[in-house]
Amino acid sequence: MTDNAAHPSSDAVALAHRIGELLATIRPAEAELGALLVEIEQRGAMELFGYRSVARLLEHLGDVPKPAAERWVKRARLVNPGRNLDGSPIPALAPATGAAARAGRLSNPMIDVITDVLTRVPAEHRLSAEAHLLTFAEEAGHKQVAGLGARILAHLAPDGLAPHDSEPVVPARELFLRRKRTGVWELSGRFDDETGKRASALLDALAERRTGDEGPDFRTTPQRYGDAFSDAVDLALNSPDLPMQAGERAHVMVAVSSADLKSGVGKATLGDTGTMTAAEARLHACDAMIIPAVLGAESEPLNLGRLRRLISAGLRRALFLRDRGCAFPGCHRPPRHCQGHHIRHVRHEARVYPIGGARPPTLDRHSGSVKLRAA
């Protein structure tokens, strides 16, 4: 070994000292940021900032990749106390580790190693195990501390943790649905294994390729599963067991002017924020509940008509018996996936109606006036 290697220069010592100073500044700041993220999560990231999770908030504000943001939040939860929904405190898994992190004595890999060990240590030995790990961390790296953690686990539970005889834990299920400014909706979530298996079986059945008269089904796998999810939503909305919402069955409100509905040109309001074309609104109006309304110059309601449905229950049963599914060429969806629609719109049909009432839509197969079409 040369003398230069054995005795670092003053410049090297100064550089190493500066690295230590910067780490002593960065590490407490990272620990404080973690505590702040836990506080935001407890108060509600959606209520405070409009983000569905605190990890997504960190991802956008800090330009942090999603996996890194999620690891940061997970680490912060383990070393910082929280609160239950009723306001009662939730103690941190590793409070002493959190204090050492805020003092700048631990790197993020070291925190991850210690908390990973403590999650597997029985609760009655967790305090002493954390003290041993932190003492060793003062003079060793995170890989050496991981080795000590493995020896602690082998000593405390050589055969693994004993199974609990308590009641089954409530499955963890989370779902996030967010509308972007472009009108596209993002869906993400996580479920227990049983729920995931049932959802997979349902989507697999609905996402099968449909090879019909027009040729093979060229949709990609994500496209087929996206269509399958849309079909599953329609099936749920049509279920008679669906709970009531504000005194009515769950539904989506579409508002369109009478002129746009007749012409098929223009826009319709979908729900409270979305839009759809008037042509799409006409397509859905055939098999929807319609409430005619007359508005004044200031958009004040002057008259509100009665609820009516163009495709009656009896007519739908007749279409079910006649078409046995979607009448569009090449589509083989079953009747429960279909809605009643005018193939040739009634306003284009010249007819003479009897005095005293309007004539209902024809069920003649050759006229093609009304058929079942896939939703």
Token digits of residue 290: 């319609």
Distance in angstroms between the alpha carbons of the first and the last residue of the chain: 79
The pLDDT tens digits for 307-333 are 555 566 667 667 777 777 777 666 766
Quote the radius of gyration of the chain (alpha carbons, Å): 32
Rounded Cα gap, residues 79 and 71, in angstroms: 13
Parallel, antiparallel, or unpaired for β 267-270 and 293-295? Answer: unpaired
Beta-ladder partners of 371: 341
Rounded Cα gap, residues 239 and 75, in angstroms: 43
CA atoms in the 13 A half-sphere facing the CB of 205: 8
Cβ contact 268:276 at 8 Å: yes
- Over range 329-350, report the average pLDDT: 61
CA atoms in the 13 A half-sphere facing the CB of 277: 6
The pLDDT tens digits for 63-122 are 999 999 999 999 999 999 988 767 788 899 999 999 999 999 999 999 999 999 999 999
- Over range 34-38, report the average pLDDT: 93
Identity at 171, one-letter amino acid code: P
- Percentage of the chain beyond pLDDT 90 is 30
Q: Can you state the angle between helices 54-61 and 10-43, rounded to 10 degrees?
A: 140
Which residue did the predictor score with more confidence, 192 or 272?
192
Looking at residue 137, what is its pLDDT? 94
Which residue did the predictor score with more confidence, 142 or 3?
142
Identity at 250, one-letter amino acid code: A
Rounded Cα gap, residues 190 and 199, in angstroms: 11
Looking at residue 62, what is its pLDDT? 92
> Helix or strand or coil: residue 11?
helix
Closest CA to 41 of 88, 74, 86: 74
Cβ contact 98:92 at 8 Å: yes
Contacts of 350 (CB under 8 A, 6+ apart): none
Token digits of residue 89: 């405190």
